[in-house]
Structure 1
Amino acid sequence: MNAVVFTNSLWGLPLINELFKQGSLKGIVIPLIDHVDNRQIYDFSEKHKIPCIKIENIQLKNELADWLNTIKPDIAFCMTFPYLIPKIILDIPIQGFVNFHFGRLPENAGADPLFWTLKENRKVAVITAHRMSIFFDCGSVIAEKEVPIIPGENWGLLGNRLSVLTLSLISEIIKKNKELTNETIGINQNNSNKIELKDLRIQWTTQTAIEIESLVNACNPKYNGAITYFRGVQIRILEVSHADLSNVNSFKPGSIVLADQQQGIFVLCSDYKFLRINLVSTAEGYMTGQKLVALGVRTNEIFYSNEFITEEKETLLK
């Protein structure tokens, strides 16, 4: 079997490496987008002398078609590839294109199903392998795998783990894929899965401690943390943990109920449970709760859900 892999992140590397070890990998396709992941994938191709093409969206029909017709792949695998593949390209591999989608289809269609899986505090993530069509997240489902989520697992950890677990589906995919037709599973035109800025914001007065922790995990690292506001400045929370506190009265949700240089910062949530702020991203850099206390953050200060940055307050430090 001759295979090519289309990808745009290191999540594609376990698949690339496995196919390489099997002697099946004949080419790699990455978008012409310069970032660390694609540079590492290109370095892999250079080291192991695997043909690799960097492609723009407008080049999909001509340059890519010529390149694939030279390689003559039996099958193409996609993982996190950002472009729609035109039919002229989909028809080149004899066994078509297979995409790995980290959500159940069609209900979890969209660019980032893992965000919703974690934000909604689901207990199980789903890997779906499906035949690709000219629409995103359509085509016959070939295989599914349910994966229990580890408590506290964030977006990056879960995505990396799922990318490794896709390897267990390859044999099943090869066997079942030959029997499939090119029917679609339905075009999901619902935009409710589209992630907007409001989805990244912590709502201290309405979200529970579990809901806030789930949002924080869903935002780390892709969105650089869940958004909140402090001293008129936007900051992003990257990691929290649950905490038990006693003798805490007369605070409102979002309040810092304890700021201690050894223990860190503890915040009250809407269900009157507490979260320890472990790590935040600020204009000044990444900081632990203990570091914030050392820099002057104190008990009784408040995190807000909406507070616009002003020119006079571009830093949270006084």
Structure 2
Amino acid sequence: METQTKILVLCGGKFAFPTLQLLAYEKFICGIGIGKASESIIDALEREAEDSNIGFKTFQDKKSISGMREWIDGIQPDYIFCISFPFLLPEKVLAYGEQKFINFHPAPLPQYRGSMPIFEVLKNQETETAICAHFMNSAFDEGNIIFNDPVTIEAGDTYGKLTVKLSNRMAQVAFNMANMLAFASSIPNQPQDELLAYYYEKPGLSDTYINWNRMTTEEIIALINACNPWNGGADASLHGEQVKIIMASLLDEPHDNQPGTIVSVNNRICIACRDDQQLAVEIISTDYGIMTAVQYSILHPEKTGVLN
């Protein structure tokens, strides 16, 4: 009887839950390591690990990584899968075994390196993303690629919708990878093309802020979707008040206003954009709370104004 392949999973939170559930059901998982997650997520995983007699350890900061190699040596997995694990693994850990560490990156590589590629593909108005399986080295997202598994981005996908879609797809991709490792003597892979490579830093305020004078309506909508819900919406200024626009659509009606001018406020907040179209804002977040355009119009009965 063949021995089941043992896989240890390093993860960063609930994004990996469907993968953990499927791999555990199929008897692949021998250990779970989690980094920098909430107490509720850590407690839930720890209870599941105890009930299933699976090794478990938390790595809440970079300093705690110093004990990872000894923990891995004690469990003796055949392979280590990483899914949104927040810390770079040092050479001491990677020396556990050549081509033993496989990362599952939620975007195509090498074009979308970085910690938040889901935000970037939506902001860039991509119609397709991917889950990239690649061997790990001592640099973020730079190891040899095993495959890029394509995932379609649907019109209207937000950061939240695409994250759930990728999380569910990740489970099947990781399961397929586990089966490949169980039956293949070697896994084909290739170096990343550095001419196509781009590393995105974690988004800051300048990345999430709407620039009415420079951005088209479609670019603004893409940014809003990319910020929902992780940033609570795209940042903007409305009547001198800092707000976050959570949901909006394109209103194909011409105007003769400067970009950023409020054309009307009724069941939607209609804002003039630079491409002679309007942004129809439906839900925003203000200091008063999250509200619809109708609720906002009650607080601000004026019909026009300028966004700064």
SS of 1:76's partner is: strand
What amino acid is aligned across from residue 211 of structure 1 in structure 2?
A: E
What corresponds to 2:91 in structure 1?
87
Q: Percent identity?
A: 27
Match of 1:143 among 127, 143, 147: 147
The correspondence for 1:28, drawn from 29, 32, 51, is: 32
Q: CA deviation at 1:213?
A: 0.4
Residue of 48, 59, 63 corresponding to 1:58: 63
In structure 1, the partner of 2:260 is 254
Task: Return the TM-score normalized by structure 1.
Answer: 0.84
2-structure distance, mates of 1:208, 1:44: 48
Spell out structure 1 runs of 4+ moving beyond 6 A. none
Q: Which residue of 1 aligns with 2:136?
A: 132
The answer to whether the 8 Å contact 2:264/2:271 transfers is yes
**1:123 CA drift (Å):** 0.6
TM-score normalized with structure 2 length: 0.87
Instruction: Tell me the amino acid that sits aligned with residue 179 of structure 1.
Output: S
Query: Structure 1 regions of 5+ residues with no counterpart?
Result: 305-318
Amino acid at match of 1:59: S
Residues 297 and 186 (structure 1), Cα distance of their counterparts in 2 relative to 1, 3 Å cut: farther
Structure 2 residue 161 is the aligned partner of structure 1 residue 160: no
Q: 1:191 to 1:165 in 2, by over 3 A?
A: closer
Cα distance in 1 for partners of 2:243, 2:39 equals 24
For residue 237 of structure 1, what is the amino acid of its counterpart?
I
Q: Which amino acid aligns with 1:121?
A: Q
Aligned equivalent of 1:278:
282
- Match for residue 107 of structure 1? 111
1:198 aligns with 2:231: no
Deviation at 1:231, TM superposition (A): 2.6
Q: Is the 8 A contact 2:245 2:281 kept in 1?
A: yes
How many residue pairs match? The answer is: 299
8 Å CA contact 2:102, 2:134 repeated in 1:
yes
Per mean C-alpha deviation after superposition, the further-off stretch among 170-179 and 65-74 is 170-179
Give the CA RMSD over aligned residues: 2.7
Gaps of 5+ in 2: none
Q: Tell me: CA distance 1:289–1:41, structure 2 relative to 1, closer, same or farther (3 Å).
A: farther
TM superposition shift of 1:179 = 2.1
My pick for the range that moved more, 290-299 or 226-235, is 290-299
